[in-house]
Amino acid sequence: MLELINIKKSFGAVIALNQASLTLEKGEIVALLGANGSGKSTLVKILGGTVKKDAGTITVDQKPVEIRSSAESRARKIAVAYQELSLIPRMTVYENVMLGHFHKGRFGQVDERKNRSFVCSLLEKYGVACNLDDFPKDLPSSTLSLIEIVKAISWDPDILLLDEVTAALHHNEVENLFSNLRVLSENGISIVMVTHRLSEIFNIASRAVILRNGESVADVDLKKTDINKIVYHMTGKMPEIAENPSDEKRSMEDAVLVVENLSIGESVKNVSLRVNRGEIIGLGGLEGQGQSQFLRSIYGAIPRDSGLITLAGKKVDYKSSANAVKDGIGFISGNRNRESIFSLRTIGENIFSAKMSMGRNFSGISNRMIIRQTNQIVKDYEIKIGNINDPITSLSGGNQQKVVFGRWILVSPEILLLDDPTKGVDVSSRRELHNFLRKAADQGMTVLIVSSDNDELLEIANRIYVFYEGGIHCMLCGTDCTEEKLVSAMMGMTAKDSVK
């Protein structure tokens, strides 16, 4: 009934989709699978009318159609629950769900009572714990995901696209959602489910389409396949399960950072790890498995519910990141615009900002010295700039990120925490940034890096802790650091899954 044929889409130099095809029959539930960045969301957005394809054909009932806007997508009775959620913060839950399609009364006026009871019954059916007049900002992420789903379903679509909606959901919420989806499919609605969680697709979908680097590489009947073959299609390699090493028998003396039983709400559960001086530790996993929250809680940006953090033998409990900075903890985020650069400041000011925030007395520091030190960083890091007094925003993404790295290296932190630091950074800048990290680690700096890019982890980390559903699924080191083992662990695979 719906067919996508050889869809192509590039964003500048990035090819998001190249020869992606997908078919969907009436009442069918198809899983759309693929590693991070394989193009799943782009494909969904093309159907939702929020991204325009460069080439390829979309047909509905064998007739070619164009979907140029979300209005056109809706007119084709397609509804989407987006991975990044499409809820408007200033609108209530009720308004968010009904926006664009309030039921009208006999005289064209909005029938408030009817609309509200419609939303109310949907929320109830999908087990969404919130009130009609709540605002998104006051609700937990699992509830927001459910509202996003309810919003899509409220359009009464023929085709429902769900992009990683289960990532933030708890187990019982997933169960309830799946039983509702089964009813929808029995009523003839076709569903495409994007998910990373392989274990759940066998429960819900009959077929899986697998994307690898923007290409649809396989279309498999889930009754006739197993998880190993799916991982193979996703990565091009057969999965391998790593032996989980018994407790790390390393001497305490060298440990710079010891975390014991750290928990944060539902997102991080009892995580313990130990990091030695000069190590580069990778924190891997599918997006949203708690690794980013874990990293942020170490330096006090996110409060933890429980757990002990010991830094160089001293118990620490940072209430704010400023205190962590004073103890020599640096933090770099890949989300430069929001978290790492001061976009209204110059390149020089951006480089010097970390040193400023160390809280020492800088009255004795001359402008000359600032200029000398920042120029040194610019030279060492080969940052391509016009003038250090130019705005930071005059630089390319890769060069901005080098400024952020330079800023921290200037204060030589004991521990540098990085959250997906090279996201959106070009390949050559990325390689340089890796070299800086390696050099700094050789000189004794300890690095904890969260990355959504497996190649990055495998290339740079001495050891990799793989997060799955808020806990550490396993730790890879030495010869266990292979893509096969990493991917299997990310999917939460255990020895049990591989024997089939």
Ligand X SMILES: Nc1ncnc2c1ncn2[C@@H]1O[C@H](COP(=O)(O)OP(=O)(O)O)[C@@H](O)[C@H]1O
Contact residues for ligand X, defined by CB under 6 A: 11, 14, 16, 34, 36-42
CA dist., res. 220 & res. 202, Å (int): 12
Cβ neighbour number for residue 251 with a 10 Å cutoff: 7
Q: Least distance (Å) from Mg ion to the CB of residue 222?
A: 21
In contact, 296 and 418? CB cutoff 8 Å: no
Closer to Mg ion by CB, 83 or 216: give it: 83
Helices H / strands E in the chain, number of each? 17, 20
Q: How far is the CB of 37 from ligand X (least distance, A)?
A: 4
> Between residues 385 and 490, which has the closer beta carbon with respect to ligand X?
490
Give CA–CA dist 295/421, Å, rounded: 13
Give the distance, in angstroms, between the CA of residue 261 and the centroid of all CA atoms in the same chain: 23
Closer CB to ligand X, residue 42 or residue 399? 42
| x/- track of binding to Mg ion for residues 259-298 (CB under 5 A) | ----------------------------------------
Q: In the complex, what is the shortest distance from the CB of residue 423 to ligand X, in angstroms, rounded to a whole number?
A: 8
Which of the ranges 37-45, 350-358, 377-385, 475-483 carries the binding residues for Mg ion, by CB under 5 A?
A: 37-45
The entry of Mg ion, ligand X, none near residue 127 (CB within 5 to 8 angstroms by kind) is none
| Of the candidates 465, 450, 456, 458, the residue with the CA atom closest to the CA atom of residue 484 | 458
Look at residues 90, 394, 71, 44 and name the one whose alpha carbon lies nearest to residue 211.
44
Q: What does 115 bind: ligand X, Mg ion, none (CB cut-off 5 to 8 Å by kind)? A: none
The strand pair at 215-221 and 207-212 is best described as: antiparallel
The region of 36-44, 109-117, 200-208, 350-358 touching Mg ion under the rule CB under 5 A is: 36-44
The pair of structure tokens assigned to 459 is 């290339």
Which of ligand X, Mg ion, none does residue 282 bind (CB under 5 to 8 Å by kind)? none
**Helix, strand and coil percent figures for the chain, each rounded to 5:** 35, 25, 35
**Residue from the set 17, 31, 38, 41 that interacts with Mg ion by CB under 5 A:** 41
Site for Mg ion in 74-113 (CB under 5 A): 83
- List Cβ neighbours of 2 (8 Å cut-off, separation of 6 or more): 22, 23, 24, 58, 59, 60, 159, 190
Cβ proximity to ligand X, 352 vs 468, nearer residue: 468
Nearest to ligand X of 38, 73 (CB atom): 38
Which is closer to ligand X, CB of 43 or CB of 130? Answer: 43
Q: Name the residues that contact Mg ion, by CB under 5 A.
A: 40-41, 83
